[in-house]
Amino acid sequence: MKSVEQYRNQKVLVLGLAKSGVNAARLLHKLGAFVTVNDKKDFDNNPDAQELLSEGIKVITGGHPLSLLDEDFKVVVKNPGIPYSNPIVSGALEKHIPVITEVELAAQILEGELIGVTGTNGKTTTTTLITMMLNQRNNAGKAYVAGNIGVPASTVAQKAQAADTMVTELSSFMLCGIDTLRPHIAVITNIYSTHLDWHGNRDNYVKAKMRITMNQTADDYLVINWDSQEWRDLSKQSKAQVVPFSRQGNSKAGAYEENGKLYFKDEYIMDAKAIKIPGDHNVENALAAITVAKLQGVATSGIVQVLKTFSGVRHRTQYVETYEGRQFYNDSKATNIVSTEMALKGFDQPVVLLAGGLDRGNTFEKLAPALKDHVKTLIVFGETAQKMADAGKLAGIDDIEFTENCETAVPVAWKRSNSGDIIMLSPACASWDQYPNFEVRGDRFIKAIEKLTGKAEEN
């Protein structure tokens, strides 16, 4: 960990807890700052706040009092999910108090190399693949996953040594709160339209994503999907060396697919069908990871070993099990239409799809073509159940069933399925109408499968 003196004896406000806030508060306390933590959850039901108070950190809970802005804070470290319309955040900016996210703090203390991964879809899988591939290197430091993947970057940055690499999944929310963060290699998997309720419009969302490269120089690399003219145009904003990847063979300057085979420049890597996780979107994720691995000197044999054995990230088109000829997949992290569309395109078999969740005001007509081509039965639940059913009718699906949630959907899906079918949870919606997060939703889905197959009773 780098020796950082800029926070010593300075007042710092950590706004919002959860994993990132708790770890940011502890790191700042360690760096000698006078830390105040502010969280809206009341103290009695806030074990994180209770622990931080016991460690000597000041905590204010139960709301966000504007009087906090009178305390002359040097910086505010906010939870990424808190919008800039929050009165404390907007008030701090009006007072010219810097507002950053925890990943910026982590980058300031990191001794090792930083690789950043962003994009609308594929971030978690690509981050994981890159980390696994880098750990195939001999006589090199260790690669760690961090960031939006669920591992606080500030924790990883404290243990990473100079020879190590922190492979960090960076959400648009996180990137809005960076200042000096500079990845040696930045990866943009793709950019579609999502989180527009938070960002206000697509232009703001795209600008947030592009912040991953704003501090890069000609000594760095931007690895970017080359299969959209928009993404190719966006790459011109970067000062880094641009290295493309393309599933459609639009460039051979990086990793690409041609006639079902994967290459890096002129070197054959492996057949696309040999990748263990299904779907064209996972070929794209693999190409992005191959590009980074090759830039970092990973041998082809190590790359192939990872891609042939990696069975998927939990909650992202995660294979759960096969029971009486049906394959179950958990794609709970599919919180938008494009994610579900990509997951469906990964299968040739008939799909019984479990979908629905938080209503953000959008409809699902854009999902209809993928539903038509891949889905035999649609099981819908949550706030968007009717909207999802309407998309299913538009797609010509006759078998549409309503149920309470993803758990009750499992036995319904089982009854409507046949041997050879895929039963997949891929909601196309956030989980917050019924579950704290997509991880809990996916775990409940898996438990329902275990109950169906009898495994739950065996444990």
Annotated binding residue 123: yes
pLDDT of residue 459: 33
Q: Are 452 and 414 in contact (CB under 8 A)?
A: yes
pLDDT of residue 261: 97
| pTM: predicted TM-score of the whole model, two decimal places | 0.80
Q: Are 72 and 52 in contact (CB under 8 A)?
A: no
CA distance 85 to 382: 28
pLDDT of residue 200: 82
C-alpha distances (whole Å) from 227 to each of 303, 330, 381, 447 are: 22, 27, 34, 38
- Residue 340 carries which side chain, given as an amino acid letter? T
Instruction: Please state the rounded mean pLDDT for residues 403-419.
Output: 97
User: Does the pLDDT value for residue 140 go beyond 60?
Assistant: yes
3-state secondary structure of 317: coil
Annotated binding residue 273: no
Residue that wins the pLDDT comparison between 314 and 60:
60
Instruction: Please state the rounded mean pLDDT for residues 274-281.
Output: 88
Fold category of 11-100 in CATH: Rossmann fold (3.40.50)
Q: How confident is the model at residue 458 (pLDDT cuts 50, 70, 90)?
A: very low
Instruction: Please state the rounded mean pLDDT for residues 86-91.
Output: 96
Annotated binding residue 125: yes
User: Does the pLDDT value for residue 457 go beyond 50?
Assistant: no
Annotated binding residue 119: yes
User: Does the pLDDT value for residue 367 go beyond 90?
Assistant: yes
pLDDT of residue 312: 80
| 235: Cβ contacts below 8 Å, ≥ 6 apart | 222, 224, 242, 244
Q: Are 319 and 345 in contact (CB under 8 A)?
A: no
Superfamily of domain 318-458: Mur ligase, C-terminal domain (3.90.190.20)
Annotated binding residue 120: yes
Mean pLDDT of the chain, nearest integer: 94
Kind plus residue range of the DSSP H or E element containing 106 = helix 102-109
Provide Rg for the chain, Cα atoms.
Answer: 23
Instruction: Please state the rounded mean pLDDT for residues 283-306.
Output: 97
CA distance 73 to 68: 9
Superfamily of domain 103-309: Mur-like, catalytic domain (3.40.1190.10)
Mark out the alpha helices in 110-269 (DSSP H runs): 123-134, 153-159, 172-175, 196-199, 202-210, 229-234
- To 10 degrees, the CA torsion angle through 443, 448, 451, 454? -80
Q: How confident is the model at residue 13 (pLDDT cuts 50, 70, 90)?
A: very high
User: Does the pLDDT value for residue 269 go beyond 50?
Assistant: yes
User: Does the pLDDT value for residue 456 go beyond 70?
Assistant: no
Instruction: Please state the rounded mean pLDDT for residues 206-228.
Output: 97
Contacts 24+ apart (CB under 8 A), 147-150: 147/103, 147/171, 147/174, 148/80, 148/123, 148/124, 148/174, 149/123, 149/124, 150/19, 150/439
Q: DSSP code of 378?
A: E
What is the residue extent of each domain of the chain? 11-100, 103-309, 318-458
Give the pairing of strands 326-330 and 422-425: parallel
Quote the tokens at residue 105: 């703090």
Residue that wins the pLDDT comparison between 316 and 400:
400
Annotated binding residue 357: no
